[in-house]
């Protein structure tokens, strides 16, 4: 990872066969506020997979100035990932008893808006930005192998991203933790976050059941490819 001094970019972040550039420093605020700031800057909101690539690169050289700042954000706050979670109860519908993941979901009045019928249509059309994971995946504490192969983690981060986020999790004293539902009795939408949890001696926490409220976090906007 390199920093272009004066241009405020973090460059050369390997990602799915290419490279990403993130604007620096991170945007701060609530989930909706940060999304709005990134949009106004004409940047892309970071997906879970893109966030995994940034954090993975960070841990490859943790003592660099910019790396240490990102690690500090993880330790003391949250990194927002713009992946929405729509939890569905068991029913007679075609898609039920699981969670639909959507990259860059709509946000209105500070809350996620995920249209079930539209998302199911996109699933039928094999839209790569929409995934469905049936309930039954492991939640809470899990070892690194379980974490990397967890169907929810793979759907959210992609195969490469799951490998990267598992390697990041290995840097901590304790095994990772997935905050999520493994069943539900009503439809609900939740946001995605990534953070360290030092209350338990150090572990990586992946949150997929966080309510969009006044909580504050950070996110780095992704620059267009031409930069």
The rounded distance, in Å, linking the Cα atoms of 135 and 152 is 9
What pLDDT digit, counting tens, does each position of 197-225 carry? 877 779 999 999 887 666 789 999 999 87
User: What is the token pair recorded at 14?
Assistant: 């390997």
What pLDDT digit, counting tens, does each position of 15-58 carry? 999 999 999 999 999 999 999 999 999 999 999 999 999 999 99
pLDDT band at 66, cuts 50/70/90?
Answer: confident
Q: Is residue 226 part of a domain?
A: no
Q: Is residue 224 part of a domain?
A: no
Half-sphere CA count of 23, side-chain side, radius 13 A: 19
The rounded distance, in Å, linking the Cα atoms of 79 and 57 is 15
Q: Is residue 225 part of a domain?
A: no
Q: Is residue 70 part of a domain?
A: yes
Which residue range is the domain that position 97 belongs to? 2-219
Q: Would the pLDDT of 227 be above 50? A: no
Q: Is residue 155 part of a domain?
A: yes
Q: Is residue 39 part of a domain?
A: yes
Helix axis angle, 48-60 relative to 151-169, nearest 10°?
10
User: What is the token pair recorded at 32?
Assistant: 């909706």
pLDDT band at 103, cuts 50/70/90?
Answer: very high
The rounded distance, in Å, linking the Cα atoms of 32 and 107 is 7
What pLDDT digit, counting tens, does each position of 134-168 carry? 999 999 999 999 999 999 999 999 999 999 999 99
Q: Is residue 50 part of a domain?
A: yes
State the total domains in the chain: 1
The rounded distance, in Å, linking the Cα atoms of 107 and 84 is 10
Q: Is residue 7 part of a domain?
A: yes
Q: Are 191 and 180 in contact (CB under 8 A)?
A: no
User: What is the token pair recorded at 172?
Assistant: 């901590």
The rounded distance, in Å, linking the Cα atoms of 184 and 135 is 9
The rounded distance, in Å, linking the Cα atoms of 54 and 58 is 6
């Amino acid at each position: 990872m390199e920093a272009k001094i004066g241009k405020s970019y973090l460059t050369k972040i390997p990602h799915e066969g290419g490279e990403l550039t993130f604007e620096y420093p991170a945007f701060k605020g609530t989930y909706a506020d940060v999304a709005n700031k990134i949009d106004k800057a004409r940047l892309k909101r970071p997906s879970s997979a893109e966030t995994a690539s940034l954090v993975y690169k960070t841990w490859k050289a943790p003592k660099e100035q910019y790396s240490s700042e990102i690690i500090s954000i993880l330790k003391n706050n949250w990194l927002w990932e713009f992946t929405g979670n729509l939890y569905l109860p068991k029913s007679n519908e075609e898609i039920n008893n699981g969670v639909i993941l959507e990259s860059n979901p709509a946000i209105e009045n500070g809350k996620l808006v995920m249209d079930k019928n539209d998302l199911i249509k996109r699933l039928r059309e094999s839209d790569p930005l929409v995934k469905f994971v049936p309930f039954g995946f492991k939640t809470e504490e899990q070892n690194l192998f379980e974490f990397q192969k967890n169907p929810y983690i793979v759907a959210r981060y992609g195969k490469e991203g799951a490998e990267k986020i598992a390697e990041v999790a290995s840097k901590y004293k304790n095994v990772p933790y997935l905050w999520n539902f493994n069943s539900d009795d009503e439809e609900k939408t939740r946001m995605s976050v990534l953070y360290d949890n030092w209350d338990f001696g150090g572990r990586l926490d992946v949150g997929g059941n966080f309510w969009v409220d006044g909580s504050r976090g950070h996110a780095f906007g992704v620059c267009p490819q031409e930069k």
